[in-house]
Structure 1
Amino acid sequence: MTNPLTPEPPPPQHRRRDDEWIAAIVAFSAIAALLFWILGDKESQWGLKGLSGLFAPASAPVAPSSPSPIVSGTPAPTVQPLLPRLLGRETVPTPDSTTVVVPSPSVTPTPLVPVPVAPARVESKTTSTGIQFKDVPPNHWAHDAIIALAERGIVAGFTDGTFRPERPITRAEFAAIVRDVLPDNTRRPAIQFKDIEPGFWAAPDIDLAVEKGFMKGYPGQIFKPAQQIPRLEALVALSAGLDLQPPPNPKQVLEKYPDRDKLPAWATNSVASASIAELVVNPPDKAQLLEPQRPATRADVAAMLYQVVERSPAK
């Protein structure tokens, strides 16, 4: 007896279609697994990155870069291997693809401009270092005066590099030295001295010293050029040539000198005026002495003339 509740079996044709679908699904699954295995394990051999990236989470979007200008007719540049950068220059790309060469800064040496040096001039009683003499050390009492006058060309040394400051000076030498401090005016005519030959080396200087009122001769038109000049006569000559006016009380001016009694009366006014003008200059150990009859040395005369230069305006 047959059970009425048993379902009827499906037709054979319908069951065959289901089997075909199942077989197709299994085949596709096998093919997919095979592809995953081949592409995932052999990507290095094929040069591919596989399909794993297809299932990776999406990354943040990247902003597209500005496209470079395309020049028609110009082939795309080939990739060149990286080369070391050339020293001294670097290229900076600009939007219009024009290459600008920017030179690296270079240091240009500043040329040395020679500065003209003005000639030395005596401005004050300070030590100068332009000229030096072997026998005039810096501690010599007349050092500053000798050096200052030598730089001005008023006095000069000897060929052996000495000045010989303690050497007595003659009347002819004194006339030659004072020529550079002579005033411009002429006071008296020149004298034809009998003991001065026309070719004598100091003849022009002696004529000027007489014409400017610095020096006089002796009776009989005698000058005595080789005679040593005493300090007294040197002070009188400077006082007369500079036209120094005598003070109203010359004896009172000379009271500070213990040896004032050795001074002749005819020279009192001139020496007093020279003292007021600070022309009486002595070594420190003889600061209060006139020593009127002592022969004037080259250092004595240099110190006297230095005082004249200091008190006179520059020419």
Structure 2
Amino acid sequence: MSSPLSQPPRSPFGGDEFVAAAVAVAAIGSILTWALTHRDQKLSWPGPNLALPEPTTQQRLDDPTSRRLPSTVTSNQLATSPPADRQMMPSSQQDAAASNPVGDDEVSEQRVNQSSSLFQESFEPISPPLTNLETRSLRVPSPALPQSTLSSDATSQSLEPIAFSDLPSDHWAKPAIDSLSAQRWLQGFPDGSFRPDAPITRAEFAAQIAQVFSELPLQSSTSITFQDVPETHWGQASIQRAVQAGFLRGYPGRTFRPNQPVSRAQLIVAVASGLDLEAEANTDVLLQPYQDRNQVPAWAIPSLVAAIRSGLVADAEQLNRLRPQAAATRAEVAAMLHQALVYMGRADPISPADAD
């Protein structure tokens, strides 16, 4: 009896298994292909509150892969965007930083140091605008009398004194006249003379006041129209300045009398009034040294004594005579104006050697 033919061993994988394996390989390939093509996209899962948390700003800064700016950001956008530290500030601190101009250089340096790893280019910071400038600035009110000295300010800008043709070197008022002419406050006459011993008129006196005391504040801004000083008068502007500064006054009937000579009493009272000197109550003691003290008008005594106390009447101290009724000469006016500048701290006193 012959044995039956042995059948060949059956393969463990049938047709169905091959189909399943092919499907599995295709699925795995699709997953790998999708993963490779969507590697930069964020993973999210359906359902509420399942989104992956966003990285914090500090994590972004610490991540080396995030320190390169996208190529789409332009320099204009960087220049107009607020710095990183300003973006992270609370709104109240942002307002304070924008309104405080102090220490801008120091703050800018800190921002550059903090952002050096983020930005490859440096941009000049935009200075914050100042608000309420008038209330923020500290302004020191100007004193009634300027405190600058001639030796520090005026001397550096002074010129050589004018060599007047009729002013000898031994004239008693030459040092004062030279001091004023060096500042071009005294000009003299077109013929090159000064006429030191000639009486001075009210218009000429006003012109010298306007030049010497141009920095003094006006006591009044009201412009007065004098009947005898037309707008075409050569001294009209100086007269207005002298009146508004408190040195001179007009006469009844809105007249100024520009061509009237100035007496010594009027000269002293005018300078004392313009400097706003405090009137003296005890006048007898200060007037005692002067032989002609009884000739001083009653209206002039308080201001005249205040001028004496302030050292403005230097020539009278040497002669022991006030001569209040005499016409003031141009030299005497120059001497008193110089003494007024010394009192204000704008001129150096004349030494005895200069007066000799």
Is the pair's TM-score, using the shorter chain for normalization, greater than 0.5? yes
Query: 2-side partners of 1:147 and 1:300: how far apart?
Result: 13
Which residue of 2 is the match for residue 265 of structure 1? 298
**Residues 21-40 of structure 1 aligned to structure 2 (within 5 Å):** none
Q: How many Å apart are 1:311 and its aligned residue?
A: 2.2
Query: 2-side partners of 1:150 and 1:120: how far apart?
Result: 16
Cα gap change, 1:313 to 1:264, in 2 (>3 Å): same
Query: 2-side partners of 1:299 and 1:228: how far apart?
Result: 14
**Residues 149-298 of structure 1 aligned to structure 2 (within 5 Å):** 149-179=180-210, 180-182=212-214, 183-187=216-220, 189-282=222-315, 287-298=319-330
DSSP-derived class of the 2:314 partner: coil
Query: 2-side partners of 1:143 and 1:314: how far apart?
Result: 18
Query: 1-side partners of 2:340 and 2:222: how far apart?
Result: 24
Q: How many Å apart are 1:142 and its aligned residue?
A: 0.2
Work out whether residues 170 and 227 of structure 1, in 8 Å CA contact, stay in contact via their aligned partners in 2.
Answer: yes
Query: 1-side partners of 2:152 and 2:196: how far apart?
Result: 25
Query: 2-side partners of 1:302 and 1:122: how far apart?
Result: 18
Cα gap change, 1:122 to 1:289, in 2 (>3 Å): farther
Cα gap change, 1:268 to 1:161, in 2 (>3 Å): same
**Residues 57-76 of structure 1 aligned to structure 2 (within 5 Å):** none
Query: 2-side partners of 1:207 and 1:190: how far apart?
Result: 7
1:92-134 Cα distance to aligned partner (Å, 9 max, x none): xxxxxxxxxxxxxxxxxxxxxxxxxx999459xxxx9643222
Which residue of 2 is the match for residue 140 of structure 1? 171
**Residues 97-108 of structure 1 aligned to structure 2 (within 5 Å):** none
**Residue-pair matches, total:** 193
Query: 2-side partners of 1:213 and 1:120: how far apart?
Result: 25
Cα gap change, 1:130 to 1:219, in 2 (>3 Å): closer
1:196-221 Cα distance to aligned partner (Å, 9 max, x none): 11111111111111111111111111
Instruction: Report the structure, 1 or 2, having the larger helix content.
Output: 2
Query: 2-side partners of 1:189 and 1:240: how far apart?
Result: 17
Which residue of 1 is the match for residue 340 of structure 2? 308
Which residue of 2 is the match for residue 299 of structure 1? 331
Residue range with higher mean Cα deviation, 144-153 or 272-281: 272-281
Q: How many Å apart are 1:146 and its aligned residue?
A: 0.5
**Which amino acid counterpart does residue 313 of structure 2 have in structure 1?**
V
Which residue of 1 is the match for residue 21 of structure 2? none
Q: Which has the larger radius of gyration?
A: 1
Cα gap change, 1:249 to 1:119, in 2 (>3 Å): closer
Cα gap change, 1:164 to 1:292, in 2 (>3 Å): same
Query: 1-side partners of 2:254 and 2:192: how far apart?
Result: 37
Q: How many Å apart are 1:161 and its aligned residue?
A: 2.5
Runs of 5+ consecutive residues of structure 1 not aligned to the other structure = 1-117
**Which amino acid counterpart does residue 181 of structure 2 have in structure 1?**
A
1:147-192 Cα distance to aligned partner (Å, 9 max, x none): 1100111111223332110010000000000112152133362221
Q: How many Å apart are 1:135 and its aligned residue?
A: 1.8
Work out whether residues 142 and 302 of structure 1, in 8 Å CA contact, stay in contact via their aligned partners in 2.
Answer: yes
Relative to the length of structure 1, the TM-score reads 0.57
Q: How many Å apart are 1:277 and its aligned residue?
A: 1.4
Query: 1-side partners of 2:346 and 2:248: how far apart?
Result: 24
Seq. identity, %: 39
DSSP-derived class of the 1:267 partner: helix
**Which amino acid counterpart does residue 299 of structure 1 have in structure 2?**
A
Q: How many Å apart are 1:193 and its aligned residue?
A: 0.9
Cα gap change, 1:277 to 1:216, in 2 (>3 Å): same
Work out whether residues 311 and 343 of structure 2, in 8 Å CA contact, stay in contact via their aligned partners in 1.
Answer: no
Query: 2-side partners of 1:185 and 1:222: how far apart?
Result: 21
DSSP-derived class of the 1:282 partner: helix
1:5-24 Cα distance to aligned partner (Å, 9 max, x none): xxxxxxxxxxxxxxxxxxxx
RMSD over equivalenced CA pairs, Å: 2.5
